[in-house]
Chains A and B, each alone.
Chain A
Amino acid sequence: MVRYLETRVLALLLVLLLMSVVVFSFLHLTPGDPVDAMLGVEVEQETKQGLRHELGLDRPLLAQYALWMGRALRGDLGTSIRSRQGVSAIIGEKLPITLELTLAASGVGLAIALPAGVLAAVRRSSTLDLGAMGVALGGVSIPSFSLGVMLILLFALHWRIFPAIGYIPWSRDPAGALRHLVLPAITLGLGLAGALTRMVRSGVLEELGREYVRTARAKGLPPSMVITRHVLRNALLPALTVLGVQISVLLGGAVITEQIFAWPGVGQLAVQAVLSRDYPVLQGTILVIAAIATLVQLAVDLAYALMDPRIRLA
């Protein structure tokens, strides 16, 4: 296990380092002068020179990267060129709002995928199975912006059950916060539900054919107990690894979902940064989201290894 942990953490550090190079290069891929791109051409030379110095653009490329990375490691992601606030502070303020959305979406995904996947597997080839797989396919195929707009159209504008857009902190008004959370969480969670349902179904199907299931049935255990006590424990492990990969998809999806529902998280921050060409904010946001996605992936893989001795001891 220690060896497995070592290799995984080393690989992670390498990937994080390479990711930081990719994010760093965004500024330098810009055709022409990045400072012109950020400030426009009509700004005075002195202002431009000031920004160039602040971003370290007047130094050699390697020194620039070392400076940027060194600051980032100390938690300093630079200063927004629009609001002049510290990028780390802005992200720190908005990150919990995004995590709230992704957590709620994971909840929606699991709440749908677990029962749907199990039922589809147990009643294989029935109408129920076909229906669940159809919904799963829809969940995977309908893009979040399309689904979100449709949900607003039906549940907010037509039936007026939920508010169309906006965010309310839990500390201010828990009931309002929940009402505002429902549509974005469903929008983001259905895609996850689609991917997970397929995994749970195939996991349960595979386990149902095993000998221990036959033994459990033969000794007279009720079918529901066979599923919950024996099959699910084994079937859910593969589904867990999918959840790890899906966290990355979820965080990416949050970018669009936040834009649809005017949800003031880091996704919306990234989009505003693109539109206002605020590179420090954009780089910081992408770096933080990508790092979180990678760390969660590692955590999930480690949890998987801990739970499955075949991997732990290999």
Chain B
Amino acid sequence: MRRHRWWRRLLGHRLGGIGAVLAGLLLVAAIGAPVLARDDPLGMRMTEALEPPSASHWFGTDQFGRDEWARVLYGARLSFAVGLLSMLLATAVGMPLGAVAGYLGGPADAVTMRVMDAVLAFPAILLAIGLVAALGPGTGSGIVAIGIVYIPVLARVTRGAVLARRGEEYVDAARAVGASDWGILRRHILPNSFAPVLVQATVGFASAVVIEAGLSFLGAGTPPPTPSWGSMLNEARQFMVVAPHVAVVPGAAISLAVLGINLLGDGMRDVLDPRLSA
């Protein structure tokens, strides 16, 4: 019942609703790619190269005659997977780190947070590039790199939430009835700190999509021929004079996806955790 109202409020939230719809479209594209695509995203037909949008190819074709509609859908699948997996990694590592640091305080907190500060001080894309260079290019390295870049972000927000909850009466009450530190953290503090973490992970999801596309655009991410919005855009630069659609299609896809997830994140912040909204 509560969940139902939560979604109602999000959809009623002017911009959050638009964000939820755009993010929903991304999810549908990602899951439904094999059904929705009417063509093989890797199937080359040189005789049909760089065709403008038509009834047979809704978004036209690329320089190898591959169907852009199919490639954009499979690109959504890749973006979604990278966003989800990298944020799961960042949350799985960052949340416990931040929770323990915030709950224990003292030297453990100071050391953890200084290390997090150092990682956070790097421009995100640059750190991701360095990590991908070390791990070797590829989608898997990209996911790990983006996950590592966002560990400090999630650690920080978890720590902040834990610090805010630590002094609450129900925590004192739990301690008074003899609950262990670990039990208090797991049963009482973390469940009540989940909203800001979820909001931050959603915003991070959007950044992960941008960084993955950026890495692929630079040639350090997902290697061809696998469709990634970033590499599609990069390849398009050579052909966009004669066929602008090859640049417009992936460019619009990235922008709409990121806009949607950002709006969703803003809306969730307003709905889930009114204290955080500016």
The residues of A with any CB-CB pair to B shorter than 8 Å are: 11, 14-15, 18-19, 21-23, 25-31, 37, 137-138, 140-143, 145-146, 149-150, 152-153, 157, 202, 248-249, 251-253, 255-256, 259-260, 270-271, 273-275, 277, 279, 282-283, 286, 289-290, 293-294, 297
Q: How far is the CB of B82 from chain A (nearest CB, A)?
A: 14
Quick check: A252 and B220 within 8 Å, CB to CB? no
Q: How far is the CB of A156 from chain B (nearest CB, A)?
A: 10
A138, B259: Cα distance in complex, Å: 7
The residue of chain A having its C-beta at the shortest distance from the C-beta of B119 within the complex is A22
Which B residues are in CB contact (< 8 Å) with A252?
Answer: 123-126
Residue in B124, B220, B251 whose CB lies within 8 Å of A274: B220
Which residues of chain B from 128 to 144 have a CB within 8 Å of any chain A CB?
129-136
Quick check: B122 and A286 within 8 Å, CB to CB? yes
A286, B255: Cα distance in complex, Å: 27
Quick check: B121 and A19 within 8 Å, CB to CB? yes
Quick check: B217 and A141 within 8 Å, CB to CB? no
A277, B262: Cα distance in complex, Å: 34
Which B residues are in CB contact (< 8 Å) with A26?
Answer: 130-131, 133-134
Residue in A19, A29, A275, A293 whose CB lies within 8 Å of B134: A29
Given contacts A26-B130, A256-B217, A286-B129, list 18 more A-B pairs with CB under 8 A: A22-B119, A23-B130, A138-B259, A141-B255, A143-B254, A143-B255, A150-B248, A153-B247, A255-B126, A271-B220, A274-B133, A275-B219, A275-B220, A282-B133, A289-B126, A290-B126, A293-B121, A297-B121
Quick check: A157 and B217 within 8 Å, CB to CB? no
B233 contacts partner chain A, Cβ-Cβ < 8 Å: yes
Quick check: A142 and B278 within 8 Å, CB to CB? no
Which B residues are in CB contact (< 8 Å) with A145?
Answer: 213-214, 217, 230, 233-234
The stretch among B38-46, B99-107, B161-169, B236-244 that forms the contact with chain A is: B236-244
B179 contacts partner chain A, Cβ-Cβ < 8 Å: no
B8 contacts partner chain A, Cβ-Cβ < 8 Å: no
A180, B95: Cα distance in complex, Å: 45
The residue of chain A having its C-beta at the shortest distance from the C-beta of B114 within the complex is A14
Given the contacts A15-B114, A256-B214, A275-B220, A142 and B133 also touching, CB distance less than 8 Å: no
A157, B127: Cα distance in complex, Å: 33
Residue in B130, B136, B236, B248 whose CB lies within 8 Å of A282: B130
Quick check: A29 and B220 within 8 Å, CB to CB? no
| Listed A/B pairs (20) with beta-carbon separation below 8 Å | A11-B114, A14-B118, A15-B114, A15-B117, A22-B118, A22-B127, A26-B131, A29-B134, A137-B262, A138-B255, A143-B258, A146-B213, A152-B237, A153-B247, A249-B123, A260-B237, A271-B218, A277-B133, A282-B133, A294-B121
Which B residues are in CB contact (< 8 Å) with A23?
Answer: 130
Which A residues are in CB contact (< 8 Å) with B125?
Answer: 252-253, 255-256
B87 contacts partner chain A, Cβ-Cβ < 8 Å: no
A297, B234: Cα distance in complex, Å: 32
Quick check: A146 and B254 within 8 Å, CB to CB? yes
A143, B124: Cα distance in complex, Å: 14
Which B residues are in CB contact (< 8 Å) with A25?
Answer: 134
A202, B278: Cα distance in complex, Å: 8
Q: Which 3 pairs of residues, A with B, have the shortest CB-CB distance?
A: A252-B123, A18-B118, A29-B134
The residue of chain B having its C-beta at the shortest distance from the C-beta of A285 within the complex is B126
Which A residues are in CB contact (< 8 Å) with B247?
Answer: 149-150, 153
Which A residues are in CB contact (< 8 Å) with B237?
Answer: 149, 152, 260
The residue of chain A having its C-beta at the shortest distance from the C-beta of B206 within the complex is A141
The residue of chain A having its C-beta at the shortest distance from the C-beta of B121 within the complex is A294
Q: How far is the CB of A137 from chain B (nearest CB, A)?
A: 7
Which A residues are in CB contact (< 8 Å) with B259?
Answer: 137-138, 141-142
The residue of chain A having its C-beta at the shortest distance from the C-beta of B123 within the complex is A252
